[in-house]
Amino acid sequence: MSEVGIAYILEKKECTIDGSQRAYYEIVDCACGFKFSFRNTGYKFICLSSHLGLINTTITPNSITAVAGFKSFKDLTAENGNSFDIDTFMEQYCSHIGECFTHNALNDKFSAISDEKFINCIKRKKKDFDDTILNNDTDISQMYAKIKKTIISQDEQIMQILTTLFKNQKVISSSLPTDIIGKLKENLIVYGPTGTGKTEILKRISSIYKIPIVIEDATSFSETGYVGREITSMLEDLYLAASKNMELAERGILVMDEFDKLAEKNNSSHDHVSRIGVQRSLLKLLDGSTFYFGDQKFDTSKLSVVALGAFSKITNSDDYSKITTEDFVNYGIMRELMGRFSKRVVMNPLSKDDIKKILIESDFSPLNTYRLLFESMNISFSYDEDFLDYIAEKATALNSGARSLKTVFDDTISSAMFRIFAGEYSAINLIRPTDEERSYVLTKKR
């Protein structure tokens, strides 16, 4: 007997709690396919298509990867007003990817995890890197589409960053000689005005990419012998993010945020000596050398390195597209170090219209995150065009890009939140404030 429908694909994982291994199952995909049984020997599931590309794969409940939550199209259609829409069904299942469960083998039942220690252990493990994205040629377009929903007005920049990182992974996974790999692999520097999404792009990639990534604050590092972390600490963090798999860590991605803060600007200070010392240490790392920490040996020849920086006042305008190597050298970055970054990506400056677009379209804009909050509280939420213009104008005046949106929005709505939390109101409408009016209108519960 067989049925066609949609199922969750779960992968068995483990984490250590109080010294003992605890098993759990994480939903890593949803798939459309056949569920069938033969002579009461248990059932199997054949994937015809899936969200992340798992096709023509046979899965059994006893394998490391299991299938659960199967529902036939007949059942799903009945549950949805007798309407059939496979895209809607898949979307419903996709929304649960990443959730984790325990499994009771006696009754073959998957249950939500309630143990707080267990939940926190899984969160720490997932924070390192997410290995649920399958390594196939469609990943890059999926990631691009997903990141564009969060980072607005930087489409070309997202594409360039993703292309560089994917090319590096293809190169280091090839059978080419090491010296050829070194010539093809690119280190990347991303720069532009503050608040344009440099760090956020890499954070989004980090959350969905199967390669281990760490994002380090360059300002926390110093030359050996000075107060601060040493360069090897970054490599050790990457090693830990790869669950102590050195081969995986050496193929990982190291992101140095606030890279511009390493610039040499004061010849008389100890900070200057420390900063220039870090720059010299990075030369060795970018060239592909062996570093040691503890009893571990880390070869950086296959490592992808991304540097992020605002480089404020490197130019007299918001147009960073004309910046040259000479400008970076004058800013305080060693010429030899700049020469190691073969790929440069310039972020677009954000206009008031861009800020407004971010406010409306980005998944993580305060407008959309507050909308989710109010929906969870059964509070009706609305706003007008004037209010959007007002927030965009205030945020633009702060000259901090999209970063200032949350500050402005929180400040505008904060005085209303007490009344809403008190439970007296059923609706809030946001408007442009005047001397006589607040920035909101509240509707009392009846």
Nearest Cα neighbor of 67 from 87, 45, 51, 88 is 45
| Range in 47-51, 331-335, 399-403, 404-408 the model is least confident about | 47-51
Asked whether residue 244 is domain-assigned, the answer is yes
Instruction: Give the model's confidence band at 271: pLDDT under 50 very low, under 70 low, under 90 confident, else very high.
Output: very low
| Range in 234-243, 313-322, 324-333 the model is least confident about | 313-322
Does 94 lie in the same domain as 108? yes
Does 260 lie in the same domain as 148? yes
Asked whether residue 118 is domain-assigned, the answer is yes
| Range in 75-79, 317-321, 329-333 the model is least confident about | 317-321
**How much of the chain exceeds pLDDT 90, in percent?**
18
What value does the mean pLDDT take over residues 399-405? 83
Asked whether residue 370 is domain-assigned, the answer is yes
The domain boundary residue, chosen from 285, 313, 346? 346
Does 89 lie in the same domain as 23? yes
Look at residue 63 in the predicted model and tell me its pLDDT.
52
Does 341 lie in the same domain as 357? no
Asked whether the predicted pLDDT for residue 130 surpasses 90, the reply is no
Q: Which secondary structure element, helix H or strand E, spans residue 158, and what is its range?
A: helix 155-172
Does 67 lie in the same domain as 10? yes
Instruction: Give the model's confidence band at 136: pLDDT under 50 very low, under 70 low, under 90 confident, else very high.
Output: very low
Look at residue 417 in the predicted model and tell me its pLDDT.
85
Query: Strand 58-59 vs strand 43-50: parallel, antiparallel, or unpaired?
Result: antiparallel
Does 148 lie in the same domain as 95? no
Asked whether the predicted pLDDT for residue 225 surpasses 50, the reply is no
Look at residue 269 in the predicted model and tell me its pLDDT.
47
Q: Give the integer Cα–Cα distance in Å for 137 and 139.
A: 6
Which structural domain range is residue 277 located in? Answer: 139-346
The domain boundary residue, chosen from 289, 314, 346? 346
Q: Give the integer Cα–Cα distance in Å for 210 and 135.
A: 8
Task: Look at 39 and 226; give whichever has higher pLDDT.
Answer: 39
Does 339 lie in the same domain as 304? yes
Asked whether residue 134 is domain-assigned, the answer is no
Instruction: Give the model's confidence band at 311: pLDDT under 50 very low, under 70 low, under 90 confident, else very high.
Output: very high
CATH code, 383? 1.10.8.60
Does 357 lie in the same domain as 337? no
Does 244 lie in the same domain as 277? yes
For the question of whether the overall pTM of this predicted structure is more than 0.85, the answer is no
The chain-wide mean pLDDT, for the chain, equals 81
Look at residue 222 in the predicted model and tell me its pLDDT.
60
Asked whether the predicted pLDDT for residue 256 surpasses 50, the reply is yes
CATH code, 157? 3.40.50.300
347-389 pLDDT, tens digit each: 988 888 998 998 888 877 888 888 888 888 888 889 989 999 9
What value does the mean pLDDT take over residues 410-435? 86
Q: Give the integer Cα–Cα distance in Å for 352 and 368.
A: 18
Look at residue 437 in the predicted model and tell me its pLDDT.
76
Q: Give the integer Cα–Cα distance in Å for 174 and 432.
A: 57
Please state the domain count of the chain: 3
Query: Strand 380-383 vs strand 425-430: parallel, antiparallel, or unpaired?
Result: parallel
The domain boundary residue, chosen from 291, 324, 346? 346
With H, G, I as helix, E, B as strand and everything else as coil, classify residue 365.
Answer: coil
Asked whether the predicted pLDDT for residue 68 surpasses 50, the reply is yes
Look at residue 386 in the predicted model and tell me its pLDDT.
92
Q: In the Cβ-directed half-sphere of 140, how many Cα atoms lie within 13 Å? A: 14
Q: Which secondary structure element, helix H or strand E, spans residue 258, and what is its range?
A: none
Does 300 lie in the same domain as 151? yes
Task: Look at 89 and 100; give whichever has higher pLDDT.
Answer: 100
Asked whether residue 132 is domain-assigned, the answer is no
Phi, psi of 439 (to 5 degrees): -90, 15
Does 358 lie in the same domain as 244? no
Asked whether the predicted pLDDT for residue 137 surpasses 50, the reply is no
Asked whether residue 133 is domain-assigned, the answer is no
Asked whether residue 21 is domain-assigned, the answer is yes
Q: Give the integer Cα–Cα distance in Å for 410 and 226.
A: 40
Look at residue 334 in the predicted model and tell me its pLDDT.
92
Q: Say which amino acid occupies 183.
A: K
Instruction: Give the model's confidence band at 344: pLDDT under 50 very low, under 70 low, under 90 confident, else very high.
Output: very high
With H, G, I as helix, E, B as strand and everything else as coil, classify residue 307.
Answer: strand
| Range in 130-139, 167-176, 228-237, 391-400 the model is least confident about | 130-139
Asked whether residue 94 is domain-assigned, the answer is yes
Task: Look at 110 and 127; give whichever has higher pLDDT.
Answer: 110
Burial of 299 (0-12, 13-18, 19+ CB in 10 A): middle
Does 93 lie in the same domain as 203? no
Q: Say which amino acid occupies 335.
A: R
